[in-house]
Structure 1
Amino acid sequence: MKSIKIEGQVRTDFGKSATRALRSEGMIPCVIYGGTETVSFSAPAASFRHLVYTPDFQLAEISVNGKTYRCIMKDLQFDVITDALAHIDFLELVEDKTVVANLPLKYTGQPEGVKAGGRLELKMKSVRVRTLPKYLKEYLEVNINDLKLNENMRVQDIVAENMEIMNSPRIPIASVVMTRALKQQENADAKEGKKK
């Protein structure tokens, strides 16, 4: 699984003015929690680019004061006016503690319904899972080969070993809908059938 390395510096000053000063230097204030200790640190905004602005699920290996923490991103805050990254919360991965994470869905295959003239509609890009850190993956693969025209694939159809999917099982994740051209063709065929 991909991971991004981040070098951070321990934060000693807190409060609005200290945080504002950090941001003016191009640093992002962050916190790591969930392990034996809570670590407040800051790191250059550029070091988060490949972690924040991507649909991929990745681990963050954060080094602070010579110690490395394996983490996942839990929460992001952006400035309401400038939309610049303002703060990140990280959850430290502890081997025997379950974590909740959003894993992307990777759709594979060519649906039967599309071959029959339908249009594929992807309704979900990720699902929320609860699992142990060792079972985390970059994505969950969903094979949509058997999806027929006017059918849905639901959360309950996702194969996710060693993890609990927390989304409602009946929510559709993908469907093949009839295109306007196909409907018109079916209507024309039905009219032809009546004439005979």
Structure 2
Amino acid sequence: MRKVSLKLIPRELGKKSEIKRMRREGYIPVEVYGKDVENRHAYVSLKDLMSLPHGETFLIEADVDGEKRVCLLKDIQVGYLGDDPVHVDLYDISHTKEIEIEVPLEFVGTPAGVGLGGTFEVMMHTLTVKASVDSIPDKITVDVSAMNVGDVLHVRDITPPSGCVIMDSPEEVIAVVLEPEVEETPTEETTT
């Protein structure tokens, strides 16, 4: 599992003027919390926040005054216009034995049925897995090249990565190759 380092600046509660000043300087308030750990209040650079990976599962090693905590990015709250981040929640998993987490699916290959005119349609883009912190995969790769027209890929068809248990229902549909659409050709009606 990929780990990204984030340097955080400690923050004192109850100082709205400080929050406004830090936001003008390009920093956003952060809460670091978790089970059986002391909450930490901090700031993160907007530049560092925007450079975090997209489309994959990763861990954050949050450094607050030399105290390092392994965290998951739990939430980024945005302003009322829906664009600028205004607050970040990091969930500390340093002392967690196992967690449930969504892991992206990566589909590789072109389904054989697509070459026959079928359409490949994805129903699920992630799977929920239960794993130790050290066993969380970045992504789950699924080879779909053998899928023919009419084939359905279920959760039960996926072999979980080592150290992981898939928590989604085995009957859930991940992807299908749909039948080719047949265009109806207008027929000439003959009158007698």
TM-score bracket, normalised by the shorter chain, equals 0.7 to 0.9
What secondary structure is seen at the aligned counterpart in 1 of 2:74? strand
Structure 2: how far apart are the matches of 1:10 and 1:124? 39
Query: 2:69 touches 2:94 (CA, 8 Å); kept in 1?
Result: no
Task: Report the Cα offset of residue 105 of structure 1.
Answer: 0.4
Task: Report the Cα offset of residue 118 of structure 1.
Answer: 1.1
Structure 2: how far apart are the matches of 1:94 and 1:84? 29
Task: Report the Cα offset of residue 115 of structure 1.
Answer: 2.8
Work out whether 1:13 is the aligned partner of 2:13.
yes
Partner in structure 2 of residue 94 of structure 1: 94
Partner in structure 2 of residue 63 of structure 1: 63
1:2-151 matches, within 5 Å, as 2-14=2-14, 18-34=18-34, 36-51=37-52, 54-94=54-94, 97-151=97-151
Counterparts in 2 of 1:18 and 1:172: CA distance versus 1, 3 Å: farther
Amino acid at match of 1:117: G
Q: CA RMSD in A?
A: 2.3
Structure 2 gap ranges (5+): 186-192
Q: Identity over the aligned pairs, expressed in percent?
A: 26
The runs of at least 4 aligned residues of structure 1 exceeding 6 Å deviation read none
Structure 1: how far apart are the matches of 2:79 and 2:129? 28
What secondary structure is seen at the aligned counterpart in 2 of 1:153? strand
Task: Report the Cα offset of residue 176 of structure 1.
Answer: 0.7
Task: Report the Cα offset of residue 179 of structure 1.
Answer: 2.7
Q: What's the TM-score once normalised by structure 2's chain length?
A: 0.83
Structure 1 gap ranges (5+): 189-196
Structure 1: how far apart are the matches of 2:179 and 2:13? 59
Structure 1: how far apart are the matches of 2:175 and 2:82? 35
Work out whether 1:166 is the aligned partner of 2:173.
no
Aligned residues: 183
Counterparts in 2 of 1:173 and 1:82: CA distance versus 1, 3 Å: closer
Q: What's the TM-score once normalised by structure 1's chain length?
A: 0.81
Deviations 1:6-58 (A, max 9, x none): 11111113366554443333211112222532222111111011226x11222
Amino acid at match of 2:45: P
Counterparts in 2 of 1:95 and 1:106: CA distance versus 1, 3 Å: farther
